[in-house]
Amino acid sequence: ATRRLVERGLLPRQQADFDDLCNLPELTEENLLKNLRHRFLQQKIYTYAGSILVAVNPFKFLPIYNPKYVKMYENQQLGKLEPHVFALADVAYYAMLRKQVNQCIVISGESGSGKTQSTNFLIHCLTALSQKGYASGVERTILGAGPVLEAFGNAKTAHNNIPSRFGKFIQVNYLESGIVRGAVVEKYLLEKSRLVSQEKDERNYHV
């Protein structure tokens, strides 16, 4: 009966997947996971839940982080284009310029979910948006601090060989014109217990 109503145009055709989980006709855990899985199999690793971006780690590099994508998402309304980490960076950057108020992006997830990589993509996009033709080594400097921090704060767990065992707060500072002036990286909640004992299949810090 439903199929006939769809064919007669009385009901909308069922979408194959939804790029915003808030649009699911029936919000259940099963439907939510099914939607994420369906998108993931089409290499769509990003999905919105309103203004929250859900990322599923593909465990391989996808060619969706080049300057063409930075340009494509520049100054666009959230949700207008396919979900992407650059869209969040763009919204935060232009909200900061427009409102002259600090913006914050929180990245959280399981061990191995790709938080560090997502942070790097965000910084890449934020510095690219700010440079506007100005040659700058700021991005290289900010991202270059990562491996040093990781050497002292990453340790093998039973699930992952290179997870961060510390929290990181990165503050990117801008001039009023929107050009990056510099950054401050603070680490917190370092798992100090690893210095004296490790669980089975887990290790101390890399350094």
Question: Tens digit of pLDDT for each residue in 159-185?
Answer: 888 889 999 999 999 999 898 888 899
50 is in an annotated binding site: no
3-state secondary structure of 119: helix
Q: Which two tokens stand for residue 136?
A: 């700058």
Q: Is 130 annotated as a binding residue?
A: no
Across the range 73-93, mean pLDDT stands at 95
Q: 122: closest CA among 102, 136, 143?
A: 143
d(CA 17, CA 5): 20
Q: Is 9 annotated as a binding residue?
A: no
Residue 32 CA to residue 119 CA, distance in Å, equals 25
The answer to whether the beta carbons of residues 174 and 103 sit under 8 Å apart is no
| pTM of the entire predicted model | 0.85
pLDDT of 59-81, one tens digit each? Answer: 899 999 999 999 999 999 999 99
109 is in an annotated binding site: yes
Question: How do the domains of the chain map onto residue ranges?
Answer: 57-205
pLDDT of 49 reads 96
* 114 in a labelled binding site: yes
Q: Taking 60 as the threshold, does the pLDDT of residue 151 lie above it?
A: yes
CB 81 within 8 A of CB 73: yes
| Confidence category of residue 6, pLDDT binned at 50, 70, 90 | low
The Cα 126–Cα 124 span in angstroms is: 6
Is domain 57-205 given the CATH code 3.40.50.720 in the classification? no
Residue 25 has pLDDT above 90, yes or no: no
What pLDDT does 132 receive? 65
